[in-house]
Amino acid sequence: MADYRQMWTDLGMDLEHHDVLCEVLPEAFGGVYLTQQDRPKGMDFYDFVVSEIHGVRPAEMLQHQEEGGKVFGTFCVYVPDEVVFAAGGIAAGLCGGSQFWVSGGEKVLPANTCSLIKASIGARLDKTCPFFLIPDIYVGENTCDGKKKAWEILAGEVPLHIIDVPQMKRDRDVAAFEAEIRDFIKVVERVTDKKITVESLGEAIKLINNKRRALQRVYNARKASPVPISGKDALLVTQINFYDDPARAAQMANNLADELEQRINNAIGVFPDKTLRIMISGTPMAIPNWKLHHIVESLGAAVVVEESCTGTRYFENLVDESATTLDEQIRALAERYMKTNCACFTPNAARIDDIIRLTDEYQVDGIIDINLQFCNLYSTESYLIKQVMKEHNIPIMHIETDYSEQDFEQLRTRVEAFLEMLRK
């Protein structure tokens, strides 16, 4: 990695503590990623991004601020990035995915809070992640109780706007979300001092849709057998898309998709024929959480799809681009975002329908339903998912875990037993 110490010092980071992370991350990434065989050439870009993870993109964001632009830190796929980019801002997904930050979160949060929230709060309070120190404003939402209360702590640190995400999907809920987007537009216009117009919002809708289309191409390639890319690599692509420049993200994902489509034409895969095909469903896996993918793939099965917010929920639905007025565009945004099936909704049967559909589309042999410990929403929903999968004869196992490595061997044993059962 190039030398970014001056930049980190200027951001007020705790360099000594941060050095510990800089030491362990390359080794962890090398062990999980660089040991894979026959990786697509298109992954070079993503490897580079990881090698410069706290350098290149933060430097771009700071440059943007020096030129008068604003940066918005977000934590959920319900935040409409289009609004931020329409005002010339940058939106960056901040969710923390490392155990390294968890202890910082535990200083202020109850122990029975999920790792994602603890890590996100810890990264900010411990000052060990530049992404958390750069934003001019954070955008939270009220999707779960843990996040709701965590924002009140973070609000003492940084300006924070909270989006009220409805928890049902009736027409009046879509209308309520439309009103939330209108409020968000006002906040973004105030922070950026820029007016959002039909033209700028139309361009931003296309920009973000293009990123989604590129990710759809990468995921479509994973439907092939043999699968041309590992689940670990596909997960990394999605994780990096949360905070990379959206135009570059689309270009890189499209380049990768070109290569994957070529591999499919030549019947080139990264796993042998007849490898078990696994879907992972459940809570999101923020970078650098690669634990479950690594376990599954090191046991000789392929993860071919993630039904999660670091998977299909991130890019499946597009915003209608045909709107010609701001009112129509806002409605189109509300309709698109309200199609996302997070467990914070009740009832949430559409998510179960998605899982069944994806099982078919990706020729899945078995599902691993993962839940970040203390996420009551996904944990409870897993009961219904298991019931319906049983009715459809789709093998499924449920896992509760966190970011630590303590349960690694235990999880490995359980996943191994599940894969053995699928092989019989």
Site residues (CB under 6 A) for ligand BJ8?
Answer: 76-78, 114, 116-117, 143-144, 146-147, 283-284, 309, 340, 342, 344, 372, 375, 377-378
What is the number of alpha carbons within 13 Å of residue 31 lying toward its C-beta?
10
CB of residue 308 to ligand BJ8, shortest distance in Å: 7
Q: How many CB atoms lie within 10 A of CB 289?
A: 26
Between 221 and 309, CB nearer to ligand BJ8 = 309
**What is the DSSP secondary structure assignment for residue 193, as one 8-state letter?**
T
User: Going along 164-295, which residue ranges are E strands?
Assistant: 277-282
CA–CA distances in Å: residue 222 to residues 304, 312, 355, 363: 6, 12, 16, 10
Least CB distance to ligand BJ8 at residue 249 (A): 18
In degrees and rounded to multiples of 5, residue 386 shows phi and psi of -60, -45
Cα dihedral value 395, 398, 403, 404, nearest 10: -100
Q: What is the spatial distance between Cα 351 and Cα 313, in angstroms, rounded to a whole number?
A: 10
Report the nearest approach of ligand BJ8 to the CB of residue 117 (Å). Answer: 5
Strand ranges in 318-395 using DSSP code E only, listed in sequence order:
366-372
Six-digit token string for 389: 């999968």
* CA distances for 33 relative to 91, 136, 261, 390, angstroms: 27, 33, 22, 34
The owner of tokens 């591999």 is 263
- One-letter amino acid at 281 equals S
Q: CB nearer to ligand BJ8: give 39 or 147.
A: 147
| Residue 44: CB minimum distance to ligand BJ8, A | 28
Which residues 6+ apart lie within 8 Å of 360 measured at CB? Answer: none
- CA pair distance 257, 262, nearest whole angstrom: 8
Residue with Cβ nearer ligand BJ8 (114 or 295): 114
Query: Least distance to ligand BJ8 from the beta carbon of 121, Å?
Result: 11
Q: Which is nearer to ligand BJ8, 18 or 351 (CB)?
A: 351
Identify which of residues 71 and 285 has a Cβ nearer to ligand BJ8 in the complex: 285
Q: Which is nearer to ligand BJ8, 298 or 317 (CB)?
A: 317
Q: Which is nearer to ligand BJ8, 197 or 380 (CB)?
A: 380
Q: Residue holding tokens 């706007």?
A: 161
- 192 or 401: whose CB is closer to ligand BJ8? 401
DSSP annotation of 32 reads: I
Helix/strand/coil for 94: coil
